[in-house]
Amino acid sequence: MLNKYARAFFTRVLTPFAAFLIRRGVSPDTVTLIGTAGVVAGALVFYPRGEFFWGTVVITLFVFSDLVDGNMARQLGRSSRWGAFLDSTLDRVADGAIFGGFALWYAGTGNDDILCAVAIFCLASGQVVSYTKARGESIGLPVAVNGLVERAERLVISLVAAGLAGLHAFGVPGIQVLLPIALWMVAVGSLVTLIQRVVTVRRESAEAEAAASSQDSQESGAAS
C-alpha cells in the first residue's frame, strides 16, 4: 500500500527538486551514494547512543534520495540496469545500518538481549525477503505477491517509532516503549511476508513445470 500510494505522492512532490539537481549537473548515482551514506551515518552514529529522535531526523532527510535518484533518471531518460542494481544494493546497506543501529543500542546501553536479537532478526529477514523476490524473478517466475510488510512498511514503522521514542529524552514519559513494539511488529510482519513469498514461488514453480511438461507432451504427440 505504501509503495503504491505514498511513493507516487512523494515522487510528484520531489520532482521539482530532482529537476533542480539535474540543472546543477548532479547525477542520479551521486544522489544514491550520498543518500545511503547519510542514512548509514545517521543510524550508526545516533542510534547506538540512544539518540533516536535526532538519528531519525537525519535518516529521514536522506532516505528520500531513494525517490529522487529514480526521478532524476526518468527525467534524463537514462534508466539503466546499473542504476537499478546500485540503488537496490545500497538500499540493503541502508536497511542493515538502521536495524544494526538498533541492535547495537540494545546490545550495549539499552541492555536488552531479547530486543537485540529481534533487531538482528529484522535486519536478516528484511534481506531475505528481498532476496526471495529477486531470486524468484531471476529463474523466470513472476513472484506475483507483495506481502504484508515490504521495505517501505519496515522503514516507516521503525523510523516513526524510533523518532517518537526519542522524545523520551525531551521529557515525554513512557513513549520509549514504541520502539520495542515496532521491532516486534516488523519482525512478525517480515516473517509472514517471507512465508508468503516462499509459498508463492513454490506454487509458481510447480505451475511453470506443469506447463512445460504439458507442452513437451503435446510436441511429442505432434511429432509422432
Active-site annotation, residues: 91
DSSP string, the chain: -IIIIIHHHHHHHHHHHHHHHHHTT--HHHHHHHHHHHHHHHHHHHGGGT-HHHHHHHHHHHHTHHHHHHHHHHHHT---HHHHHHHHHHHHHHHHHHHHHHHHHHHTTT--HHHHHHHHHHHHHHHHHHHHHHHHHHTT-------SS-HHHHHHHHHHHHHHHGGGGGT-TTGGGHHHHHHHHHHHHHHHHHHHHHHHHHHHHHHHHHHHHHHHHHHHHHH-
b/e per residue 95-119 (b: at least 16 CB within 10 A): bbbbbbbbbbbbbeebeeeebbebb
Binding residues for Mg(2+), by number, are: 66, 69, 87, 91
